[in-house]
Structure 1
Amino acid sequence: MNSASPNFAIPSEIPRRRNGRPQACEPCRRRKVACDHRLPICSRCIRKSTPQSCRYLIQGQLVTPALPSDVARSQSAEMLDERQPREPTVPNPTTVSPSTLEDLSPQDENVGYLGASSFPEFFRETQRHLDYVAGPNPTHDGLAGKNENNVTSTKMAPDAAAFELAFTVLRTIPTKEAAQFLLRRNVNPNDAWCRLALDRLHASLWTALGHLLDGERSNEAMSQLALLLFQNSSNPLKEDFPDPDQWFEAFSGANFRWEGLGILFTFWCFGSASLIENGTVEQRKWLGHHNRKNLMQVYKNGASRSVDLCRLMSCNNTMMVSVLVSRIRPSIVQSTPCLLVPNKSYLGAGFWRQHAEAVALATFLGLHTAQPNSSVPEESVSVQVKRRLFCSVFNIDMVVSTLTGRPPLVSSKLCSTPLPLDVSDESLLNLKVRPHRLDNDGWNVEGKNHPVTFLRAAYIIAGIRSEILEIVLQAPHVRTQHDFDSLRKREMDVFARFPTGLQFNNDDFSNSSVDAPTLYIRLLTRLEHLSNLFFIERLSYRGSSLYSPQMLEISLEMISLTLSFWTQQNRLEGLQGDYEWLVMLHAAPAAGILCMELLKQPSATEPPTVPKITKPMIIKQLSLLIGFLEWIGPGAPGAHLCNSIKTVVERVMEQALNPAIPRPVTQQEFDMTWDTSLPEDMNDFNFGLLDTFDWLRLPPNTI
């Protein structure tokens, strides 16, 4: 047989024999087995882990995905480029160069961040001392680079299952028009990555790879696109660029990666979350055969499968952290009411594993430390994105730890990550906008609310929350003294130093100059601050009654502000998918305090705890809470728990509005009924939904 030099271009269609029937690849032909003729590699060769040998004989020449040289790779790319249709108004589309699947195996051998207690640190100290005494000898530095024996780690190329998964993911990508529509629908004023970079990444997907995604998305086109993404993702992502254009180019266009696709899927998911249940006439055009919830699940699955492909390629970088963080948020938004319901999939063990993976990768990369780098300035986008991502990881950890009562996975005492600068995405991606105008605390002097502004504020508040959780969740045998007055003062001081753009005012609801994102982050900032005060008051109160007057005031404001996310939906257009879980986080514990205050006032003759907080005011807020819980509907995640809360609140209101024949009750009897005495170690402070039901102390089986 003629063994002429092989033609390295991937054929544009299935090779055929002279009689017109499809040509089998050479391994299948020699073994006389069925070949599915998939390009560039048939499924049988992938299953047998021999993709390098999958070659088609065409006109006496072997067509193979193996490239022996960069020259051949370039020639192959040029031949493919000529076959691809182009639009005259856009740059040349990226063409896929074939490569061996050996080259697609992960090449990242990074051992990650190693801190002060790690064993190499002690050897480095010895080596520095040895260099000082005997002079440097870099050839024997086994800690600085690859080992002398050039031992390579075991590599694993994508198999048939990986390619099938890749095809599923690629066919889940919406059409260009639908993708752009969903991206515009997602309004996230506290994005943890860089929204402007994401918008450009989205445009890059269609500019560079749109020719492979348009049309029917055949196996041939999907094979080329999957190979490109596998090839790019198998290479370690270089991120530490001082130039923003170099930073962006490393993962966009011809360098597009599975991580980037995973990030886009999460944003399409949140764009779907903002739609009406079955969509308007315009929205139904992009919904296809799905309603809002089903469409969210489709793109959430796309993100999860992208994560699986990233794991296969050992993608250990900040983009992977961003995918993991973004993937957590749909779970929180869809299912926070399910937190304490047994056998629920979202915030049970599955969700906790996802969250733990995000924390683990962030600390593996050392994002929890300052990581000074003299070659990359602090104001560069690569440095700021790392800080933003860790702030988001830390904030989420404090939220889910508060809701579940499980120990947080990180602690403020072990984190030294500086706050990200309060600068716009435009200034990060454009060197001409610099220098940044910031005050001594790192806030922008213009008073603008950038996507990072709330992230900074939440990180500061979460640092104090971390200290609160340490007090609440400490083991019974631990004996420590706590200065709650100092903790309260620090919380008040840090909130007072926040810029005016983060300060909520009651007039903001009627002020048309306050747009939806600004109103959203002002409400969140105020609520996070009130939550810390709520916990501090709960822990520090030692009075004879059930709670302090300050705690009642805080509770009334908390429930009022959280319910505004429902009552002011017209002012929060585009943010509906992001706020339902906040009601369960903040309104439920506040409602528990208000319910106790109502039950403490069986008649109009008994004075209220706080004179300015009247019975009608409390009833109004609890009535709104009932309305919200009814609005959630029986089909929502955790609907049973929501209905239980609604039942409790309704019973309390019925008792308050239509009290039974009163019987004189002493203060001692009342306190014994509620049994709210706390031991010194605080260990019965149950953070499960902030102990809402335990505070009510209802008899068993009454709900």
Structure 2
Amino acid sequence: MNDHTNPPLLLRRNGRPQACDPCRKRKLACDHTRPVCSRCKKRKQDDECVYLLSGSRILTSKSPLPSSAPSTPLLSPRRGSLQHSQNSSTLTPDAQVSGLTRPGYLGPTSYCNIYEDTENSLSLLQGAHRVATQSESVARHTPIEGSQTNISARVRDMALSVLRNIPDPIQGGTLRFNPGSDGWIRSIAEPVVKSLYETFGDYFSTGNRPTAKLEELARIICANTLKPFSDDESDPDKWFGQFLGKNIRWELIGILSIFWEFVPGSDVDFWKGKRSAEFDRGFRIARENMHLSLDLCKELSAGNSMMLCLSQRCTIVDSMLVGDADLLVWRTHAETISLLTFLGFHAVEEKDRHQTSLSTEIKKRIFHNTFSIAMDVVSFTGRPPLISSRYSSTPLPLDISNEDLLSDHDTFMKAISRLDEEGWNTDGEIYPSTHIRARAIIALIREEIFEIALGHRQNTLRNPFSVETLLQLRSRELSAVAAFPSCLHFDPLEIDNLEVPINHLSVRLFIEQEHLQNMFFIERLLLRFGHQDKGDLLKVSYDLVTQTLPYYLHLDRLPSFRNGCEWLVMAYAVPAGGILCLELLKPTLHLRPHSDSRITRSNIIQKLSLLVAFLNWVSPSAPNGYLCNDAKSVIQRVLDQTLNTASSIYEPPAVFQWDSPTQLDFNFDLLDTFDWIRPDFPSSQQSNQ
């Protein structure tokens, strides 16, 4: 219920408090007090002190706040508020400030800012008989397909397909989680699945499920999904209430599909090295449910944070099906970025951490997780990024636990007060937010690396890049990682230490790989710019291969990454393995031993042999399988030639004369990585081939 004695502050579209009309017309400072501002009270103009609420609606000292008015301050467009465009009753508070309809986030250059003052003036002139704008008329009278009383045949068929796949309460009541990789969304899935089966469990009984009964449930969920979802709700109970129990939405059905075990025992044979038929069947059902749920959201919803989470996960499962370089993955990834910017999650503003809220922290987590994934996609494909930090203002999420994030206000604020100056937790724990923050910091530096690696300005007279630029990037990368909390620092000995929690080990190892990959790119670019290599590239490459092998050698310790092994080995180990191959082809260690005693010719051969075994473990039919097979063939040829041509243990190994006109080429075009590892043979040598 609204507190009429202390009405909420009204904000203009630019985020500034709205002045009363007498002060606005006289261009005088207004203190925005309601129902009567101090200036009007002093001038004894109580009846003239009015505030425009929504075009024709005017609040005076005698008119109480309407029951439909928001209980929180009206939000500015820069906070990414959203209007459901299909029904006038779903206008958000921000969209009610004027007659202009707001289709998602609109920035400072949009038409809304330009027309705001004009719209307000027209509203005053037209008074209570203001004519609705064209956009309002469309919003008010557009029929809603898929409403509770009528859903299209297409929506019906998609909905029934999803509902028929949902496990029964016994099987579906237990969700499958991967420690260290589920992030904060796990805390959402657990109460949702419980409330789903408590409310609608009889719809998912084992055996036959009558179509009429499923249609009834489909209409309920479609009607719920049509309702506007507030991403600005900061009360955890109210936020959860938007999709728990009888309010279940398709966004959450899709998210639950991430964690359901659709085929019992489908993971049993995975440890044999290949995906079983049961695993593939369960995986495809999960993927189908996720994509159908997302399609239903596209039909019925104007977009929200849960839909964005689902879209992000669809990108990941697509990559697990067809590989990371496929067009399908690129398209799904692009849709995720489009929805993110449409919702305005890239433009979350925060001046003081103590003013943050549940909704703000969720937006920050989603944005930076998506941004990090976007940079990983660029690393793998070498394609230009679809999002840039240059146009983003969302700060890093605060490092608080999921429990504190979803708790009451006092507990939430106490957790924030315990953070250090940089926003890290002081509990020594690794939370999902800890992981997101660390990856985001590395991703922001990687984006700058990409500007050099993928940009073409270095070929112009306006070249802003130089060796000094790269050296500064290297220094910043090292400083950033060194500044991470001690709980994130990786120790290789922990892999064999069973007392180290698996979720801690998983996060530390993955963050170490992300860091080493940045260093790998920087060292390669330094060579391109003519900087003298003192063995740094070989060391980084050796470490990168070494820290990727545990995903194969310790599958039992790192189960959260078992479904992404094909990506991990191709993204991290193979490019670095190419540098190790070059050391075997054009040896330098016999002339100058490396400063790192681990890096010897023998150890390099051993690491590459294990890498070949890892690549051979990947089935050719698996995602990225053909890429792994091609890389394996090249590394095997290098090892065979290196070992077979050694003439004497007392003589330094001869430089390998590559016998193929294609040179050392893994036949990929990934961030120019594989161009970088081609040896630069002298022209005389090539002419003798």
| TM, length-normalised to structure 2 | 0.74
Q: Of 573, 594, 600, which aligns to 1:614?
A: 600
Q: Of 138, 142, 157, which aligns to 1:153?
A: 142
> Residue 261 of structure 1: CA displacement?
0.4
> Residue 430 of structure 1: CA displacement?
1.6
The AA in structure 1 aligned to 2:363 is K
**SS class of match (1:277):** helix
Q: Of 464, 489, 497, which aligns to 1:481?
A: 464
> Residue 650 of structure 1: CA displacement?
1.1
For 1:454-465, what aligned pairs fall within 5 Å after superposition? 454-465=435-446
The AA in structure 1 aligned to 2:311 is L
Q: Of 416, 423, 427, which aligns to 1:442?
A: 423
Q: Of 212, 215, 219, which aligns to 2:211?
A: 219
Match status 1:687 vs 2:670: yes
Q: Of 337, 348, 362, which aligns to 2:340?
A: 362
> Residue 380 of structure 1: CA displacement?
2.8
Corresponding residue for residue 628 of structure 2: 642
Query: Given that residues 106 and 314 in structure 1 are in contact (C-alpha distance below 8 angstroms), is that contact kept between their aligned partners in structure 2?
Result: no
Provide the C-alpha distance between the structure 2 equivalents of 1:143 and 1:541, rounded to a whole number of angstroms: 63
Provide the C-alpha distance between the structure 2 equivalents of 1:648 and 1:502, rounded to a whole number of angstroms: 35
Query: Given that residues 348 and 395 in structure 2 are in contact (C-alpha distance below 8 angstroms), is that contact kept between their aligned partners in structure 1?
Result: yes
> Residue 492 of structure 1: CA displacement?
1.2
Query: Given that residues 566 and 625 in structure 2 are in contact (C-alpha distance below 8 angstroms), is that contact kept between their aligned partners in structure 1?
Result: no
The AA in structure 1 aligned to 2:487 is G
Q: Deviations over 1:127-166 (max 9, x none)?
A: 78x79xx989987999999747975335433312221221
Corresponding residue for residue 58 of structure 1: none
For 1:445-594, what aligned pairs fall within 5 Å after superposition? 445-475=426-456, 479-482=462-465, 483-541=469-527, 548-594=534-580
Provide the C-alpha distance between the structure 2 equivalents of 1:314 and 1:366, rounded to a whole number of angstroms: 16
> Residue 450 of structure 1: CA displacement?
0.7
Percent of residue pairs identical: 34
Corresponding residue for residue 86 of structure 1: none
> Residue 512 of structure 1: CA displacement?
2.8
Q: 1:190 to 1:373 in 2, by over 3 A?
A: farther
| TM, length-normalised to structure 1 | 0.72
Corresponding residue for residue 75 of structure 1: none
Q: 1:141 to 1:446 in 2, by over 3 A?
A: farther
Moved more, 537-546 or 233-242: 537-546
Provide the C-alpha distance between the structure 1 equivalents of 2:421 and 2:128, rounded to a whole number of angstroms: 46
Report 1 or 2 for greater relative contact order, CA contacts < 8 Å, sequence distance ≥ 6.
1
Q: Deviations over 1:264-287 (max 9, x none)?
A: 11223799898233799xxxxxx9
**SS class of match (1:165):** helix
The AA in structure 2 aligned to 1:353 is R
Provide the C-alpha distance between the structure 2 equivalents of 1:136 and 1:513, rounded to a whole number of angstroms: 73
Provide the C-alpha distance between the structure 1 equivalents of 2:262 and 2:583, rounded to a whole number of angstroms: 39
Corresponding residue for residue 304 of structure 1: 291
Match status 1:349 vs 2:327: yes
Q: Of 195, 200, 205, which aligns to 1:209?
A: 200
Q: Deviations over 1:89-122 (max 9, x none)?
A: xxxxxxxxxxxxx999999975011112212222
Q: 1:204 to 1:690 in 2, by over 3 A?
A: farther
Provide the C-alpha distance between the structure 1 equivalents of 2:427 and 2:382, rounded to a whole number of angstroms: 39
**SS class of match (2:395):** coil
Query: Given that residues 192 and 322 in structure 1 are in contact (C-alpha distance below 8 angstroms), is that contact kept between their aligned partners in structure 2?
Result: no
> Residue 460 of structure 1: CA displacement?
0.9
Provide the C-alpha distance between the structure 2 equivalents of 1:319 and 1:577, rounded to a whole number of angstroms: 23
Query: Given that residues 348 and 363 in structure 2 are in contact (C-alpha distance below 8 angstroms), is that contact kept between their aligned partners in structure 1?
Result: no
Corresponding residue for residue 390 of structure 1: 367
Query: Given that residues 349 and 393 in structure 2 are in contact (C-alpha distance below 8 angstroms), is that contact kept between their aligned partners in structure 1?
Result: no
Provide the C-alpha distance between the structure 2 equivalents of 1:242 and 1:334, rounded to a whole number of angstroms: 37
Corresponding residue for residue 407 of structure 1: 384
Query: Given that residues 291 and 314 in structure 2 are in contact (C-alpha distance below 8 angstroms), is that contact kept between their aligned partners in structure 1?
Result: yes
Corresponding residue for residue 116 of structure 1: 108
Corresponding residue for residue 278 of structure 2: 291
Query: Given that residues 555 and 590 in structure 1 are in contact (C-alpha distance below 8 angstroms), is that contact kept between their aligned partners in structure 2?
Result: yes
For 1:624-639, what aligned pairs fall within 5 Å after superposition? 624-639=610-625
For 1:48-127, what aligned pairs fall within 5 Å after superposition? 110-124=102-116
Corresponding residue for residue 259 of structure 1: 251
Corresponding residue for residue 316 of structure 2: 329
The AA in structure 1 aligned to 2:390 is K
Query: Given that residues 422 and 442 in structure 1 are in contact (C-alpha distance below 8 angstroms), is that contact kept between their aligned partners in structure 2?
Result: yes
> Residue 323 of structure 1: CA displacement?
0.5
Match status 1:187 vs 2:186: no
Q: 1:653 to 1:149 in 2, by over 3 A?
A: closer
Query: Given that residues 172 and 302 in structure 1 are in contact (C-alpha distance below 8 angstroms), is that contact kept between their aligned partners in structure 2?
Result: yes
Q: 1:266 to 1:144 in 2, by over 3 A?
A: farther
Query: Given that residues 266 and 327 in structure 1 are in contact (C-alpha distance below 8 angstroms), is that contact kept between their aligned partners in structure 2?
Result: no
Provide the C-alpha distance between the structure 2 equivalents of 1:562 and 1:138, rounded to a whole number of angstroms: 68
Provide the C-alpha distance between the structure 1 equivalents of 2:247 and 2:436, rounded to a whole number of angstroms: 29
Q: 1:485 to 1:372 in 2, by over 3 A?
A: closer
Corresponding residue for residue 29 of structure 2: none
Query: Given that residues 508 and 514 in structure 1 are in contact (C-alpha distance below 8 angstroms), is that contact kept between their aligned partners in structure 2?
Result: yes
Query: Given that residues 371 and 440 in structure 2 are in contact (C-alpha distance below 8 angstroms), is that contact kept between their aligned partners in structure 1?
Result: yes
Query: Given that residues 104 and 234 in structure 1 are in contact (C-alpha distance below 8 angstroms), is that contact kept between their aligned partners in structure 2?
Result: no
CA RMSD of aligned residues (A): 4.0
The AA in structure 2 aligned to 1:243 is D
Provide the C-alpha distance between the structure 2 equivalents of 1:541 and 1:508, rounded to a whole number of angstroms: 33
Q: Of 608, 617, 637, which aligns to 1:651?
A: 637
Provide the C-alpha distance between the structure 1 equivalents of 2:463 and 2:303, rounded to a whole number of angstroms: 39
Q: 1:192 to 1:515 in 2, by over 3 A?
A: closer
Q: 1:674 to 1:635 in 2, by over 3 A?
A: closer
Provide the C-alpha distance between the structure 2 equivalents of 1:555 and 1:142, rounded to a whole number of angstroms: 68
> Residue 687 of structure 1: CA displacement?
3.0
**SS class of match (1:291):** helix
Q: 1:599 to 1:279 in 2, by over 3 A?
A: closer
Moved more, 324-333 or 150-159: 150-159
Q: Of 280, 301, 307, which aligns to 1:320?
A: 307
The AA in structure 2 aligned to 1:306 is S
Corresponding residue for residue 95 of structure 1: none
**SS class of match (1:169):** helix
Query: Given that residues 585 and 689 in structure 1 are in contact (C-alpha distance below 8 angstroms), is that contact kept between their aligned partners in structure 2?
Result: no
> Residue 210 of structure 1: CA displacement?
0.7
Match status 1:424 vs 2:405: no
Q: Deviations over 1:461-505 (max 9, x none)?
A: 111111111111113665422211211111111111111111101
Query: Given that residues 171 and 261 in structure 2 are in contact (C-alpha distance below 8 angstroms), is that contact kept between their aligned partners in structure 1?
Result: no
Provide the C-alpha distance between the structure 1 equivalents of 2:382 and 2:564, rounded to a whole number of angstroms: 22
Moved more, 655-664 or 477-486: 655-664
Provide the C-alpha distance between the structure 2 equivalents of 1:545 and 1:379, rounded to a whole number of angstroms: 45
Moved more, 382-391 or 317-326: 382-391
Provide the C-alpha distance between the structure 2 equivalents of 1:576 and 1:446, rounded to a whole number of angstroms: 29
Q: 1:402 to 1:488 in 2, by over 3 A?
A: same
Corresponding residue for residue 239 of structure 2: 247
Unaligned stretches of 5+ residues in structure 1: 1-101, 281-286, 340-346, 677-684
The AA in structure 1 aligned to 2:189 is L
Unaligned stretches of 5+ residues in structure 2: 1-85, 93-100
Give the paired residue count. 567
Q: 1:415 to 1:270 in 2, by over 3 A?
A: farther
